[in-house]
Amino acid sequence: MKAVWGVAYKVACGVCLVWLAVVLGVAVHYGWRALVADTFVIPSDSMSPTLLPGDKVRVDKAVFGARLYTSLDFTDGRMESIRTRGRRGLRYNDIVVFNYPVNDKGHIGFKMNYVYVKRVAALPGDTISFVHSRPVNSHYKGVLGLAEAQRRLEETPDSLIPWYAMRNILVETAVLGYTIKDIPPVYVPRQGDILRMDDWRKVEIYRRAIEWETGRALAWDGARGQCLSDGRPLPYYRFRKNYYFVCGDMVYGSKDSRYWGFVPEEYIVGVVDRVVESHHPVTGRERRERRGLNLTNNE
């Protein structure tokens, strides 16, 4: 009888150890994905030729700090989170994965699995403009993005570019009168900075960010020449959050900050550092030459 109980005990211990190993394995797997790194497959050519459709990229979350949700209630696009301490802040030309910030109603709103990948062109507090299709940053004198692609866009006659792609700038309408080739200086909001709300264009450009932060509707009173927040005058606004301006390397075919505006810092997932593997999206053929391609920004 003792022998039977001994065998049963050993079997039970073995089963427990197996289950413990499985639980630990799952915890390590998902903990790694949440805190250290994850992989994403590139669906479009907006970052071509740097990233191609079918590339599986590794996204390092420890660079900027991993985002941890403090609530799983994403009703109405809400998202509450904290961020672990990262190794560094974002840099110019970092390739980042982020949650697309604009919801179906045209406001900033969170969607769990709706992510984009673009290149950082401006940090919080920068002023960015586009001159002859080239991004010009007030705090960075190097090349942002791919100069050759920008040159090709500049040389493309306006008549060959669809109207909506040419003029729906910063707010996805043509109301501002800007074009994809030439955009006047635009300030990228930084936490704590104060902006004078003395022009209707500022209301249009910063409407999404301010309404997201305050929960109040923003409007321009043309008769009185003033900005209104839920009907009350708003001569100045102090930003509560940091934002980024991002662009795709395929400057003609990328829908990015040039069209829909700024990315809130809370929406940043991580920094792309390499291509893990790559398969042609149609044929499934493996592109071995892209495996392990290093995309680390060493600036």
Do both 13 and 78 map to the same domain? Answer: no
For position 86, what pLDDT does the model report? 87
50 DSSP 8-state letter:
T
Do 199 and 235 form a contact (C-beta atoms < 8 A)? no
What is the distance between the alpha carbons of residues 224 and 161, in angstroms, rounded to a whole number? 38
Active site residues: 46, 118
H-helix or E-strand spanning residue 27: helix 2-35
Do both 1 and 22 map to the same domain? Answer: yes
User: For 123-156, what is each residue's pLDDT tens digit?
Assistant: 999 999 999 999 999 999 999 999 999 999 999 9
CATH of the domain at 49: 2.10.109.10
Least confident interval from 21-35, 108-122, 148-162, 165-179: 21-35
Least confident interval from 8-17, 24-33, 247-256, 275-284: 24-33
Number of structural domains the chain divides into: 2
What SS3 state is found at 197?
Answer: coil
For position 176, what pLDDT does the model report? 92
Do both 80 and 104 map to the same domain? Answer: yes
Do 137 and 187 form a contact (C-beta atoms < 8 A)? no
- What residues make up the domain containing 152? 36-193+239-290
